[in-house]
Chains A and B, each alone.
Chain A
Amino acid sequence: MATIQVDGRRYAVDDRDNLLQACLTLGFDLPYFCWHPAMGSVGACRQCAVKQYRDADDTQGALVMACMTPAADGTRISIADDQAREFRANVIEWLMVHHPHDCPVCEEGGHCHLQDMTVMTGHHRRRYRFRKRTHRNQYLGPFIAHEMNRCITCYRCVRFYRDYAGGTDLGAFGAGDNIYFGRHREGVLENAFAGNLTEVCPTGVFTDRPHSERYARKWDLQFAPSVCHQCAVGCNTSPGERYGEIRRIENRYHGEVNRFFLCDRGRFGHGYVNRDDRPRRPEWHAAAGETRVLDVDEALERGGEALRRARRVIGIGSPRASLESNHQLCELVGQDNFSTGIAEREQVCLARMRRLNLDAGLPTPTLREVEAHDAVLVLGEDLIASAARLGLAVRQAVLGRREVLAEARDIPAWNAEAVMTLAQDARHPLFIAYPTTTELDAIAERCLHLAPDDIARLGFAVAHAIDATAPAVGGLDERTRATAERIAEALRSARRPLVIAGGSLESPAILEAAGNVARALATRERRGGLTLVRREANSTGVELLDGRPLEWALDALGQGDADAVVVLENDLHRRLPGERVDRALAAAETVIALDHQRTATWERAHLGLPAASFAEADGTLVSLEGRAQRFYPVYEPRYHRPESRIHPGWRWLLALHAGLQRRTLPDVAFDDLTRDCARRHPVLAGIVAAAPGADERVCGLKLARQPHRYSGRTAMRADLDVSEPSPPRDPDTPFTFSMEGYAGFDRPRREVPFAWAPGWNSPQAWNKFTDEVGGHLRGGDPGARLLEPAAGVAGHVDAIPPPFEAGVGEWRVVVLPRLFGGEETSSRAAPIMARAPAPTLRLAPADARRLAAEAGDTLVIETSLVHLTLPLLVDAALPSGLVGIPAGLAAALSSGAPARLSVVPGDGEAQP
């Protein structure tokens, strides 16, 4: 700690900070541009000037850049000094010399850091009489819009994109007035985190393009704290709604999980909520293919009657539905009839991951803790594709060596340019074993492109090399053995080694191998970590409900053991081959589907009940870290669409349950449901503490979902009815559907729908909500962790698979997760559809030669269940004997399945 004096008053600050961090942590409003809490300082913008005094006798002082000056003990500075203030005002004026006077038509307006800073310094009139330099814009893909004239050359974009996120296709070009931030030529920004440029850029150079298409200013959006449903990482988001549509997803700061950044799938993948074809009213699908729209009472009556008639009702849950909905389904059909809705091969992996979390001896680090690890082994995961935000954290962990080196030379960690120059290419070791290339390969020490079984063997070998009691792998070739030794050596010598594996390749062997490595490390008393990647938002949580796999449910229906099924927010056709699903559903007397999407399963259901998506429902999800997190409804769908009958899945199920028992629907509060779920499943006991109850109040007020400047209340709905209804009530949460309620920053609270503080409209306002800049939310970070390792380490597992051998004329399918298009719901969002690359079939060059096929040729892949035609991509990294198929294409193709390939004849001639 250090004591510094600001404008004559003394404050205790952290001496590892710079003065800007210290001042912002203390709550002073000091303008800045180029500094970012996650990226340190470079002193480029000259905006955070303060007056520094040598000692008490120094009355003259000197201007220094606060971001480049350490908060050393005894520092005396003045923020309010006239000279410093004038200097800051002048800097803004220079920056604004070329600004294009287009705030009214700028998407950033209203949450623009440049606007905030301009107001803060008091500049309001352009005195510069000469002409402005201008630039042409570039097309940067479906996510990001580019308007280069608004640039103030703070360099934040390239520092984030290149240094932090590891992108290569955005750069700074030219010098002086020529300076240009863009790609070397027009094209889609490739990095998976490009969307963060919209929040990183302090002005409107990079803006959210999907948001611009259905635009609303930040002050007009209604926000609620939410959790991203597009993968299992559990990033916190603030979806913004207007006119009953989710218009934009903003990052919601969570000190332990996503902190400042989201991946593009999470940020731009919400469009499925707004789809026109989304079911909004209950539907009855008669036999002859006609659809009747029902009202709620009639739908429930029919549903209840059908369930009463049924001999046995099966409930199929979903890993993309909340714990409460799944639990309520379990209550409806009984534990014996409850299926998780997850295919067996995936559920086996999930069960194994849960066991490893308990008995492998290593805890699962939070994302922030991941960044503190200094050696990482990734077994069978393409992190950027399957858990992108985790991949970004791993990147920071690997780059963390810079800070170690800097510390040795007394360079403060925030001095980004110096730290980077010093470290050059020095990184912490990262080892990746995956069938093909991954985006993190560029910073890995060693990348091994192996078949799934060989990845497992490598893992077992590493475990054996760390801990001789672990089973040895027989028949290992010399190179692999040497690699395993090197990996073991790196993990052994690390202060905090991290092992990452997951279910992407659906290989239990890989997980056991990772478990052995973890156990081997756990015995060495290191503060290591084990992160196991799950596929879907609530995979971890639903697995904890102890349901049976989907196959069991389909069998029960197909064999006539059960004659009714309730499917909760699950498209079975994406999990198992369509024919098998159809057969089972056709055998059932009654199929009731609850979903927020018009899926193949919905179309085959007799009764469809429109469930709420994450934007309209409350619920709890468990992330891959084992963190239970609550998401809240952002808006009430009936307010703007009075005809809609969307309700959360759990509420439909409660009503069905009441109908089944011929009771009237009880008035159940959501908190009771959560408590009930926690009581029924002891492992979920922690979910009650995951979020404040509905009775949470700040200064006696509920919390506001809308910013206090929310406009148009008396006109938005006036076309429907000039007498506006009172805002919808929300008894289930501590939030109101209005601007009435607490929305400030000065009273700590855990659930913050949106960040705003006086003078801070941009995402930079989060600094006002944290205990220190880049720290934790002052009210505590949301969520509660459920899965902590049990005491003691279980014994090693000896289930080493034989080495992979390429078959002759037969290939093994390996399903490769995709960031864009690989996930069910987000791939229904228009921007993701536009961004997703065309699916291709990957083959090793040798295999392609054997088939006499060239890149671009159309190939047919055939298994016992499926016949698919795809263009060929020759993948030099892929081991021979494997065929790589992008995820989300055909449920019938699962990893490990044998497949035959053939070239479509005549295709080569068709393309001379």
Chain B
Amino acid sequence: MWTSLIPATWSQLRTLGMVFRHAFRKRETVSYPEEAVYLSPRFRGRIVLTRDPDGEERCVACNLCAVACPVDCIALEKGEAEDGRWYPASFRINFSRCIYCGMCEEACPTSAIQLTPDFEMSEYRRQDMVYEKEDLQIDGPGKDHDYHFYKVAGLAIAGKGKGEAQDEKPPRDVRTLLP
């Protein structure tokens, strides 16, 4: 014990000195809200529903985001347009439950649901934290500029018939005998 006393004391004093020198360092704290905060593009904040490059809703109401959500704060219902295109007839996120984990975004097969660099969504009433589809839908494609689910998937919709999706041959004529 006695032998380590001097180095130990020195170590403590050195620590004191090092900490004291921090008095002359720049402060790490960002004085939000006086100063703006830098949020990276991949920041997981307010959730939006995006549109495909043609300006149509990307969400196809597959429900994968809802089932991936660990706090079960997403609820949506499928609607089907005349041409067979699926869309969410209603889409609700209860942000008072959301933990911004981004699992919904990961689960989304159409890049529709995306988290954005915005966290300023506090409300005085909890009820106002419940966002409906019109609160979530935005007009752009978000982070994914190109993906267009219906151009890839085989489901026929208006303007894209059977056999016109990615890597598809024209529909077969069942009645022909030719191979």
Contact = CB atoms under 8 A, between A and B. Distances in A.
So, do A and B actually touch in the complex, CB under 8 Å? yes
Interface stretch (B9-17, B27-35, B38-46, B126-134): B126-134
Interface in A631-646: none
Interface string A96-108: 0000111111000
A713 interface: yes
Contact of B66 (A102, A104, A177, A711): A711
B176 interface: yes
A220 interface: yes
Interface stretch (B49-57, B137-145, B163-171): B163-171
B62 A178 contact: no
B74 interface: yes
B77 A243 contact: yes
A101 to B, nearest CB: 5
A101 B67 contact: no
Contact of A176 (B69, B162, B179): B179
B86 to A, nearest CB: 5
Interface residues of B, number: 50
Contact of A174 (B60, B154, B174): B174
B169 to A, nearest CB: 5
B111 to A, nearest CB: 11
A220 B61 CA distance: 13
A178 B176 CA distance: 9
A248 to B, nearest CB: 13
Nearest to B79: A215
Contact of B154 (A134, A710, A723): A134
Given A135-B162, A715-B94, A102 B172 contact: no
A132 B168 contact: yes
Given A104-B64, A104-B110, A714-B72, A136 B171 contact: yes
A571 B61 CA distance: 40
Contacts of B126: 722-723
B162 A136 contact: yes
Contact of A716 (B75, B78, B166): B75
B96 interface: yes
A713 B94 CA distance: 10
B62 A104 contact: yes
A718 B63 contact: no
Given A711-B66, A715-B92, A722-B127, A102 B167 contact: no
A147 interface: yes
B115 interface: no
B172 A718 contact: no
B92 A134 contact: no
Contacts of B176: 178
Interface residues of A, number: 46
A552 interface: no
B160 to A, nearest CB: 12
A110 to B, nearest CB: 8
A719 interface: yes
Nearest to A178: B172
A217 interface: yes
Interface string A169-202: 0000110111010000000000000000000000
B101 interface: no
A58 interface: no
Contacts of A100: 153-155, 165, 168
A127 interface: no
Interface string B91-105: 011101100000000
A714 B73 contact: yes
A746 interface: no
Interface in A209-229: 212-213, 215-217, 219-220
B94 A101 contact: no
Interface in A727-784: none
B147 interface: no
Contacts of A718: 73, 75, 92, 94, 130
Contacts of A149: 154, 162
A131 interface: yes
Contacts of B172: 133-135, 174, 177-178, 180
Given A722-B94, A722-B96, A711 B67 contact: yes
A102 B75 contact: no
A178 B171 CA distance: 10
B153 A135 contact: no
Most buried by B among A100, A101, A109, A712: A712
A709 interface: yes
Contacts of B71: 714
B155 A102 contact: yes
A129 to B, nearest CB: 8
Contacts of A178: 172, 174, 176, 179
A119 to B, nearest CB: 14
A841 B129 CA distance: 60
A134 B163 contact: yes
Contact of A105 (B127, B153, B179): B153
A112 B81 CA distance: 24
Nearest to A243: B77
B94 A105 contact: no
Given A134-B163, A711-B69, A716-B75, A104 B153 contact: yes
B80 interface: yes
Interface in A121-176: 130-137, 147, 149-150, 173-174, 176
Contacts of A147: 155
A721 interface: yes
A172 to B, nearest CB: 10
Nearest to A134: B163
A831 B37 CA distance: 56
Contacts of B96: 722
A775 B155 CA distance: 38
Nearest to A130: B167
B127 to A, nearest CB: 5
Contact of A101 (B63, B152, B169): B152
B62 A713 contact: no
Interface of A: 100-105, 109-110, 130-137, 147, 149-150, 173-174, 176-178, 180, 212-213, 215-217, 219-220, 243, 709-716, 718-719, 721-723
Given A134-B172, A716-B92, 17 more contacts: A102-B155, A104-B64, A131-B169, A134-B163, A147-B155, A178-B179, A212-B80, A215-B77, A215-B78, A711-B75, A712-B72, A712-B74, A713-B72, A714-B71, A719-B132, A721-B127, A722-B94
Interface of B: 60-64, 66-67, 69, 71-78, 80, 86, 92-94, 96-97, 109-110, 126-127, 129-130, 132, 149, 152-156, 162-163, 165-172, 174-176, 179
10 contacts: A104-B153, A105-B62, A147-B155, A173-B174, A180-B172, A216-B78, A712-B66, A714-B94, A722-B94, A722-B96
